[in-house]
Amino acid sequence: MVNLTINNQKVTVEDGITIMEAARRNNIHIPSLCYLQGIHQAGACRICVVEVEGAKNLQASCITQVAEGMVVHTNTERVRRARKMLYELMLSDHSQDCLTCSRNLSCEFQALGKLLGVDDTRFEGERSPFQVDASVSVTRDMTKCILCRRCVTVCNEIQGVGAMSPQNRGFKTEIGPAMKLPLGKVNCALCGQCTIVCPVGALNETDSTRDVWEALSDPRKFTVVQVAPAVRVALGEEFGLPAGSRVTGKLAAALRRLGFKRVFDTNFAADLTIMEEVTEFLTRARDALTGKGAVLPMITSCSPGWIKFIEHNFYELLNHLSTCKSPHCMLGALVKSFYAESINVKPENIYTVSVMPCTAKKFEIEREEMVNNGNKNVDAVITTRELAQMIKTAGIDFLTLPDEEFDNPLGLSTGAADIFGLTGGVMEAALRTAYELVTGREIPFDGLHVTPIVGLEQIKTATIKFIDVLPEYSFMEGLELKVAVTSGLAGARMLMEQLAKGESPYHFIEVMGCPGGCMMGGGQPRSSDPDVREKRMSGLYSEDESKQYRKSHENPYIKLLYEKYLGEPNGPKSHELLHTHYVPRGKFNELTTEDFVIEIDESTKRRVARATRQEAKVPALVKAEPETVSARILELEAENRKLKSELQDTQETVEIMKLVLSKYSKQG
């Protein structure tokens, strides 16, 4: 334990923590900007500076560790002035069009200005070169970037992707891919984790709400919407509810009020995915165990960010991926075939929208493979955040909505589908069905939860022994099925490196691209609740437990769908509609000509034009106002002192040289 004084208050805290943490634990709030507890502690923005007695300079409290006897002041005039000055300097290179920014009123930078009491912008000067770069999933607007580097940490360290890093130096520093390459042309997984941590509007999902509004107001379009499992435990946060609140019923009601003709549930397709994926797995297992040879482990394919990651980095392992499309693309394909036929609407006139916790899903629907009979499976993907925005724009009072049901037949789902939204969920859902298909008995875990793979650890493993199997699955008798579950691409990389070396002991691997799974996806609400993961997770588990059916194969509409339309799992019709293949892309996208860059939209272009005009008007100089003048005077005086001492040094050297010369000339 360490004893120190913060703002004249004697406190005792544990060793090794930072001043910021020590202060927080004693209810002293130090303003910060780039700091993200446990993730990004780099001292980059320096807003959290404090005065430490005995130290010459102000110290960044997010990286300075407490020490015995330390005396800290977090709220002196010097500290307040420094923070304001830092803020204004950051503001001077920020586009400042807050009123038309998607982060207006949800911007951390804006909130900080208010907190610090900044009421003036003293610095007007050159702005960094303007750049907006749009990929199908993520848009980078570098005019808003304040160089906090949170995205760099998340992309490089948490996800281990490394698509963006600081480029150039000093004033020209820009966070982005190498050599000004656009995001849509590099190894970015488009997972959108950077959009979650960005404190300003610099990194965002690429807007799709315009297209969706247009479709909704087009009388020729038959609009069909579907919702991913993770959305129902997060959307409420955008309306002030605590993290993890289940709003499934209100969600269905809101979508109906937005004007969608049918409100379906991606969960239905999650159940369908389990039927297809488990069948695929059991076929591979049979072939492997009966000596025919098959590629194992099989790896799940629901997460498009993960798919893009493996296509870039481990493309030699693509045959390990399940060929199943992700659930929402399956549902889209069914809506435009099976459902279109049943209601007698031409698939061309159907507009399918998916509400997803994910930015990579926006990329997925643009893949050439996600097309059947010339129709895109899904026409537009909006994130949870975008849906919240649409509900607000439409004037729907979300919190007072009644609970409504999804439309059938593509709206009924089992509890197994709900847990697709969290790490370990797809594997658990698959095991619930696989175990029962093979043995005729329920999987022997309390509450059907496969406990070893429940939780938020990076890599989780389990072994399930199959004994007393049904005769048709005799090849599984005695098998100790080894499974691994990971979420986040850094964990995926570890498992793939193991696999590439031929050392993977597993039969079946679940990968979700975002740490924690879809519930923490790049399209989810940005949360300031430190327990958001646990809360959303328990929301999804309780959604699962509340269901009448808990296992995908029990879903009556799934059975009906196979009877009436698809035939059997992995049958020809399934293969046509529900399965896909993958594209080797290469580390630098060098193996394909496909890219996911899009043109920036009209409103952004107008903004670019406006900013350029502004830049021409503002001369590149610092407006000197009283306080700045004093700072400049101090600076000049310091320089003067430095020059004087240098001059003195030089004069001394000259004297010495003269002395030496005179000695030599005397000798000579």
Partner 1 sequence: MTAETAKEALSLEEKERAYAQIANVIDLYRRKEDSLVQILHLAQEIYGHLPLELQQFISREMNIPLSQVSGVVSFYSFFSTVPRGRHTIRVCLGTACYVRGGKKIVEYLQDKLQVELGGTTDDGSFTFEVARCIGACGLAPAFMIDDTVYKQVNVNKLDKILGQYY
3 state SS of 294: coil
d(CA 379, CA 225): 10
Cβ proximity to partner 1, 55 vs 654, nearer residue: 654
Q: How far is residue 624's CA from residue 327's CA, in Å, rounded to a whole number? A: 59
Please report how close the Cβ of residue 215 comes to partner 1 at its closest, in angstroms: 36
Instruction: With contacts defined by CB under 8 A, name the span among 9-17, 68-76, 551-559, 584-592 that binds partner 1.
Output: 584-592
Q: Which is nearer to partner 1, 166 or 444 (CB)?
A: 166
Contacts to partner 1 from residues 589-648, by CB under 8 A: 590
In the complex, minimum distance from the CB of residue 8 to partner 1, in angstroms, rounded to a whole number: 43
Span from 163-171, 346-354, 372-380, 564-572 in contact with partner 1 (CB under 8 A): 163-171
Which one among 29, 587, 623, 658 touches partner 1, defined by CB under 8 A?
587
- Does 162 bind partner 1 (CB under 8 A)? Our answer is yes
Least distance to partner 1, CB of residue 639, Å: 16
Q: Is 62 exposed, middle or buried (0-12, 13-18, 19+ CB in 10 A)?
A: buried
Residues 6+ apart with CB under 8 A from 658: none
Q: Does 165 bind partner 1 (CB under 8 A)?
A: yes
The verdict on 163 binding partner 1 (CB under 8 A) reads yes
Does 161 bind partner 1 (CB under 8 A)? Our answer is yes
Instruction: Report the site for partner 1 in 187-226 (rule: CB under 8 A).
Output: 187
Q: Which of 178, 467, 638, 647 binds partner 1 (CB under 8 A)?
A: 178
Closest Cα to residue 62, out of 83, 76, 82, 42?
42
Residue 164 sits in the site that holds partner 1 (CB under 8 A)? yes
For the chain, helix, strand, coil in percent to 5 are: 45, 15, 40
SS3 (DSSP) at 354: strand
Name the one range near partner 1 by CB under 8 A: 106-114, 173-181, 378-386, 448-456: 173-181
Range in contact with partner 1 (rule: CB under 8 A) among 280-288, 390-398, 586-594, 604-612: 586-594
Catalytically active residues are 277, 280, 302, 322, 361, 364, 369, 518
Alpha helices in 394-518 (DSSP H): 415-418, 425-439, 489-500
Count of residues interacting with partner 1 (CB under 8 A): 19
For the bound state, the minimum distance from the C-beta of residue 155 to partner 1, rounded and expressed in Å, comes to 8
Choosing from 25, 210, 214, 588, the residue that interacts with partner 1 (CB under 8 A) is 588
Give dist(CA 365, CA 358) in Å, integer: 12
Q: Please tell me the distance from the alpha carbon of residue 44 to that of residue 63, in angstroms, as a whole number.
A: 10
- In the complex with partner 1, which residue's Cβ is closer, 187 or 555? 187
The piece of 27-35, 353-361, 464-472, 583-591 that touches partner 1 (CB under 8 A) is 583-591
Question: What is the widest separation between alpha-carbon atoms in the chain?
Answer: 116
Q: Binder to partner 1 among 56, 169, 501, 581 (CB under 8 A)?
A: 169
Q: Are 173 and 147 in contact (CB under 8 A)?
A: yes
Inter-residue contact 261 to 222 (CB < 8 Å):
yes
Nearest residue to 354 via CA among 286, 416, 265: 265
- Cβ 101 to partner 1, closest distance in Å? 26
Half-sphere exposure of 365 (CA within 13 A, CB side): 28
Least gap, CB of 591 to partner 1 (angstroms): 13
Question: Is residue 186 at the binding interface for partner 1, with CB under 8 A as the rule?
Answer: yes
Structure token digits, residue 173 = 């520093």
| Contacts for 460 with CB less than 8 Å, ≥ 6 apart | 423, 424, 452, 453, 454, 484, 485, 486
Q: Identify whether the C-beta of residue 286 lies closer than 8 Å to the C-beta of residue 570.
A: no
Binding flag, residue 129, partner 1 (CB under 8 A): no
Q: How near is the Cβ of 184 to partner 1 at its closest, in Å?
A: 14
What separation, in Å, do the N-terminal and C-terminal C-alpha atoms of the chain show?
A: 72
What is the contact surface with partner 1 in residues (CB under 8 A)?
Answer: 156, 161-169, 176-179, 186-187, 587-588, 590
